[in-house]
Amino acid sequence: MKLNTADVIVVGGGPIGAYAAWQFAAKGLEVVCLEQRKANQAASDIGAFHFEDIAFERTGVPRPKPSQVICDYPDVVVHPPQHDKFVRVSGIHTWALDLTAFIRDLRKSARDAGAVFRYGRQARELLREGNRITGVVAAFGEKEETYRAPVTVDATGLVRSLRRQVPGLDFPGAHRQFNVYMEYWSDADTPPPDGIHSYLGPNTWTARYPGYWIAGMGRELPLDRLKAEHALWFGDLYPGKKKLQRAVTGAIPYAFAPPTLVTDGLLVLGDAAATNKPFNGEGIASGMIPARLAADVLPSAVKAGGSRVALWEINRRYYTDQGAKFAFLLAMGHGLLSLTEDEVMAAFDAGLISAEDLRQTFYNYTVQRPILEWAMPLARLSRRVGVVRKYGAALLRAVQIARHVEKYPTARDFPVWATKYRKLVGHFG
Ligand X SMILES: Cc1cc2nc3c(=O)[nH]c(=O)nc-3n(C[C@H](O)[C@H](O)[C@H](O)COP(=O)(O)OP(=O)(O)OC[C@H]3O[C@@H](n4cnc5c(N)ncnc54)[C@H](O)[C@@H]3O)c2cc1C
Q: By C-beta, is 64 or 377 nearer to ligand X?
A: 64
Q: By C-beta, is 13 or 377 nearer to ligand X?
A: 13
Pick from 285, 355, 368: nearest CA to 324: 368
Question: Does position 330 bind ligand X by CB under 6 A?
Answer: no
Q: How far is the CB of 163 from ligand X (least distance, A)?
A: 11
Choose, by CB under 6 A, the member of 25, 61, 155, 344 that binds ligand X: 155
Q: How far is the CB of 77 from ligand X (least distance, A)?
A: 16
CA–CA distance, 380 with 401 (Å, rounded to integer): 26
Q: How far is the CB of 135 from ligand X (least distance, A)?
A: 13
Q: Mask: binding to ligand X, 117-146, rule CB under 6 A, as x and -?
A: ----xxx-----------------------
Q: By C-beta, is 157 or 409 nearer to ligand X?
A: 157
Q: How far is the CB of 376 from ligand X (least distance, A)?
A: 34
Choose, by CB under 6 A, the member of 29, 31, 36, 295 that binds ligand X: 36
Q: By C-beta, is 123 or 350 nearer to ligand X?
A: 123
Q: Mask: binding to ligand X, 181-200, rule CB under 6 A, as x and -?
A: -x------------------
Pick from 30, 11, 4: nearest CA to 123: 11
Beta strand 243-253 pairing with 177-186: antiparallel
Q: By C-beta, is 15 or 201 nearer to ligand X?
A: 15
Scanning 144-152, 192-200, 245-253, 312-320 for contacts with ligand X by CB under 6 A, the matching segment is 245-253
Q: How far is the CB of 388 from ligand X (least distance, A)?
A: 33
Q: How many residues bind ligand X (CB under 6 A)?
A: 40
Question: Does position 32 bind ligand X by CB under 6 A?
Answer: no
Question: Does position 248 bind ligand X by CB under 6 A?
Answer: yes
Question: Does position 14 bind ligand X by CB under 6 A?
Answer: yes
Q: Give the per-residue SS3 of the chain.
A: CCCCECCEEEECCCHHHHHHHHHHHHCCCCEEEEECCCCCCCCCCCCEEEEEHHHHHHHCCCCCCHHHEEEEEEEEEEECCCCCCCEEEEEEEEEEEEHHHHHHHHHHHHHHCCCEEEECCEEEEEEEECCEEEEEEEEECCEEEEEECCEEEECCHHHCCCHHHCCCCCCCCCCCEEEEEEEEEECCCCCCCCCEEEECCCCEEEEEECCEEEEEEEECCCHHHHHHHHHHHHHHHCCCCCEEEEEEEEEEECCCCCCCCEECCEEECHHHHCCCCCCCCCHHHHHHHHHHHHHHHHHHHHHCCCCHHHHHHHHHHHHHHHHHHHHHHHHHHHHHHCCCHHHHHHHHHCCCCCHHHHHHHHHCCCCCCCHHHHHHHHHHCCCCHHHHHHHHHHHHHHHHHHHHHHCCCCCCCHHHHHHHHHHHHHCCC
Q: By C-beta, is 151 or 394 nearer to ligand X?
A: 151
Q: Mask: binding to ligand X, 390-429, rule CB under 6 A, as x and -?
A: ----------------------------------------
Segment 255-314, which members bind ligand X (CB under 6 A)? 270-272, 276, 281-285, 287
Q: By C-beta, is 75 or 282 nearer to ligand X?
A: 282
Q: How far is the CB of 75 from ligand X (least distance, A)?
A: 16
Choose, by CB under 6 A, the member of 22, 24, 49, 408 that binds ligand X: 49
Q: By C-beta, is 10 or 388 nearer to ligand X?
A: 10
Question: Does position 42 bind ligand X by CB under 6 A?
Answer: no
CA–CA distance, 186 with 211 (Å, rounded to integer): 7
Choose, by CB under 6 A, the member of 4, 26, 46, 400 that binds ligand X: 46
Q: Mask: binding to ligand X, 70-109, rule CB under 6 A, as x and -?
A: ----------------------------------------
Q: Tell me the C-alpha to C-alpha distance, in Å, between residue 138 and each of 4, 36, 50, 202, 254.
A: 11, 9, 32, 41, 28
Q: What's the one-letter identity of residue 395?
A: L
Interacting residues with ligand X (CB under 6 A): 11-17, 34-37, 43-44, 46, 49-50, 121-123, 155-157, 159, 161, 180, 182, 248, 250-252, 270-272, 276, 281-285, 287
